[in-house]
Structure 1
């Protein structure tokens, strides 16, 4: 079977509108999380990572008129436009499109939003992206809570392996909306301060928004310097609770175990872990238990939620792209905000930007409904 790679990539976020700029800001320890005071989104001030609306409008305006597109559609189009142009891939019937999102255009259901309410349908979002770029194939919209972004990579790999497509473009993202904020607030999961994954002082999540995109391909001539090979991937649902993770980490444990089996790899092969790390008590504890069950407690680990907040259906894709650049630059990036371990099992949390020879990393994600996904990625160029 041909090797499958992640290649051309782009990130649109509060830390910048292209991957290199975003990674540079992470390298410099800059976070996109700020105090937001917007009563249209939430009645009280809250911390979140939100793209500046004027900057988004100006940047999207360079592509064409923006009045016919929602905020999320503008973000996704900006992200995907860059890699379609740079890759020069012709959009034939052999090229797929996967869109990963948790809530899509949920903001169009707000009575004050001028967009048609039908835009809230995920299928409608898919066809808007398809029609903008003139994809020949039908879009596949993947919405499986917070594993959606990394799961989209798994699905793209499988489509290519079974011969449905030769190459697949993925774009994932979510926005910060009143619906999402009020929902997480009802769980008492929102932090009153910038989030601190795995920290003893953690008090919950911050929400963030992002659009990220990547080309999945088997063509070596389409590889960029930071390209990685998808060595193995797997998903498992522990069916523990509608929102609470398994206390034993069973679903995540089995996902990583299966990904290792496909990758023919083990804990000794992993140079670092890009974990989910939402900074909620239950999630971080569950991850610590699952990772230690697999003898991964000593592997350098970070959560990028302190830079972007939790970007929901875009988080796994976003964090995988940062991981690609981390391998390329041979640099470990810290879990910003972490001071003292606050879980029951040992974890090797990355505390400072560190130069280290890197070859392989593990990406994990967990979400509502008991879903868990893990993937192993290896550097293509030394």
Structure 2
């Protein structure tokens, strides 16, 4: 089976409308998490990473009519468009589209601007495909918070199966009243910017973003690039929302992945964790990493920069992991104070340069889903 790579990419977030703008903000330890006072659920406001809608329309107006698309559709189309701009000769007749999201256009439930079927995930994906003239029926991946990384695995698997030669993976989610009320029902939202793995963490901060990456063989790329090695998923079926107390599902996904690819834990140079800053998630990850003998590996969570962007989070974090490998950069785990988990972790506390070759990206989500992915710099 031929190798596939993470080729061109795009991150659109309140930190910036390109990947490079986002990386610059991360290098400067800038966070998009701000106090928001526009919610009926939080009397004293809440911290989240939100877009200015006027800026979205201003950007979108250069490629289409902003009134013809929902907020999320516009963000995802802008992100895909940036990827396609990097490859003007890409043959869309042999390119697929894999869309990652948890809630899609859920914000349209109480609105009547668009047809009712726009609420369906398949319809949103088709709208995006139609914008670019992608004739192959798009695939949708919606598996809680591993969706973004699972969409990359899905793209690789579909390419390997001969469905198409290249695939654009596009992800997006918004901070809607539906999402806010859901997390608040768990009393899981922090009243301060989230602090993953810290003793003073109080819960999750939410964020909205879109991202896209082109997956496929290396013919379009020269020089250093990042190979998608493999990914493994495992479901511990512990609870509809609570993670396994033993980290079993995440441990299984990591150990099976390393064993299948004959890679030892000591060969991993960087670990990009899920790190939501909730009490049980962070503890579960720490236990799983320790069981997998990864406690020595430099690890961070990017949630302090973006908040939890749901179905986009693992996609954004994979793109940033790709650039960490290419640039030999490790980024701080923003807002970390001191350890709040029972197992030792090598938390990255400041940006630094380090020779990197192999990275492990993990993600976990509601329903007991877990994913581990290996990426390798190809010189």
Same fold (TM over 0.5): yes
Q: 2:343 aligns with which of 338, 342, 345?
A: 345
Cα offset, 1:226, TM superposition: 6.4
1:206-241: CA deviations, max 9, x gaps?
Answer: 1101100000001x2312666310112100111110
Cα offset, 1:22, TM superposition: 0.3
The residue that corresponds to 1:96 in the other structure is 96
Equivalent residue pairs, number: 378
The residue that corresponds to 1:64 in the other structure is 64
What SS class does the counterpart of residue 374 from structure 1 fall into? strand
The residue that corresponds to 2:237 in the other structure is 239
Cα offset, 1:113, TM superposition: 5.4
What SS class does the counterpart of residue 337 from structure 2 fall into? coil
The residue that corresponds to 1:298 in the other structure is 296
What SS class does the counterpart of residue 362 from structure 2 fall into? strand
RMSD: 1.3
Q: 2:225 aligns with which of 224, 227, 237?
A: 227
Cα offset, 1:40, TM superposition: 6.2
The residue that corresponds to 1:193 in the other structure is 192
Alignment partners' CA distance in 2, 1:12 and 1:144:
21
Alignment partners' CA distance in 2, 1:147 and 1:43:
31
The 5 A counterparts of 1:281-360 are: 281-360=279-358
Q: Are the aligned partners of 1:8 and 1:227 in contact in 2 as well (CA < 8 Å)?
A: no
What SS class does the counterpart of residue 260 from structure 1 fall into? helix
Q: 1:270 aligns with which of 259, 268, 271?
A: 268
The residue that corresponds to 1:25 in the other structure is 25
Alignment partners' CA distance in 2, 1:178 and 1:341:
32
Q: Structure 2 regions of 5+ residues with no counterpart?
A: none
The residue that corresponds to 1:364 in the other structure is 362
Alignment partners' CA distance in 1, 2:281 and 2:224:
30
How has the CA–CA distance of structure 1 residues 260 and 97 changed in structure 2, closer, same or farther, with 3 Å as cutoff? Answer: same
Cα offset, 1:117, TM superposition: 3.0
Alignment partners' CA distance in 2, 1:330 and 1:42:
41
Alignment partners' CA distance in 2, 1:23 and 1:98:
24
Q: Are the aligned partners of 1:231 and 1:262 in contact in 2 as well (CA < 8 Å)?
A: no
Cα offset, 1:126, TM superposition: 1.1
The residue that corresponds to 1:137 in the other structure is 136
Does residue 121 of the first structure (1) align with residue 120 of the second (2)? yes
1:251-303: CA deviations, max 9, x gaps?
Answer: 10011112212332121111110000000000000000000001101110000
TM-score (norm 1): 0.96
The residue that corresponds to 1:151 in the other structure is 150
The residue that corresponds to 1:34 in the other structure is 34
How has the CA–CA distance of structure 1 residues 146 and 303 changed in structure 2, closer, same or farther, with 3 Å as cutoff? Answer: same
Q: 2:248 aligns with which of 242, 247, 250?
A: 250
Q: Structure 1 regions of 5+ residues with no counterpart?
A: none
Q: Are the aligned partners of 2:5 and 2:227 in contact in 1 as well (CA < 8 Å)?
A: yes
